[in-house]
Structure 1
Amino acid sequence: MKILYLLFPLLLLLVQGAAAWDNTLKCKSTGGFCAFVKCPSGTRAAGKCTSTYCCKST
């Protein structure tokens, strides 16, 4: 019972990570890739991968 307060934040982190993984898979399934800073030349931003950009070739 004493560690119950530690398990709740862990559960929240797992749920947040699952949502981030879903965004990445959605980007890749549409033919895109995730870029950290900005999309490279020859590509355009097509959405978001958590805190990064989902880029597709033009």
Structure 2
Amino acid sequence: MRILYLLFPFFLLLLQGSAGFSFAPGNKAECEREKGYCGFLKCSFPFVVSGKCSRFFFCCKNIWG
């Protein structure tokens, strides 16, 4: 029973993060339209992950715009 107290906050954080993620680019065309590029599994430094292009490719967008 004690593990339920630890798992409940984890699930809340997981659901909260996935709720806002639905507005992120979902394919390569959307990513490029929003001035991003598709990177394999990670993004280089001035870029951050902002969505998914496909299963292993993530949409990378510049931090400063």
The alpha-carbon deviation at position 37 of structure 1 amounts to 2.4
Rg: which structure is higher?
Answer: 1
Residue of structure 2 in register with 1:15 after alignment: none
Kindly report which structure 2 residues correspond to 1:41-52, keeping only aligned pairs within 5 A, or say none.
41-51=45-55, 52=57
Residue of structure 1 in register with 2:39 after alignment: 35
Whole-angstrom distance in 2 between the partners of 1:23 and 1:53: 9
Query: TM-score, normalising length from structure 2?
Result: 0.53
Pick from 20, 31, 55: which aligns with 2:60? Answer: 55
Q: Which runs of 4+ in 1 moved over 2 A?
A: none
| C-alpha RMSD over aligned residues | 1.4
Secondary structure in 2 matching 1:53: strand
Query: TM-score, normalising length from structure 1?
Result: 0.59
The alpha-carbon deviation at position 23 of structure 1 amounts to 0.9
The gaps in structure 2 that reach 5 residues or longer are: 1-25
Residue of structure 2 in register with 1:23 after alignment: 27
Percent identity at matched positions? Answer: 35
**Aligned residue pair count:** 37
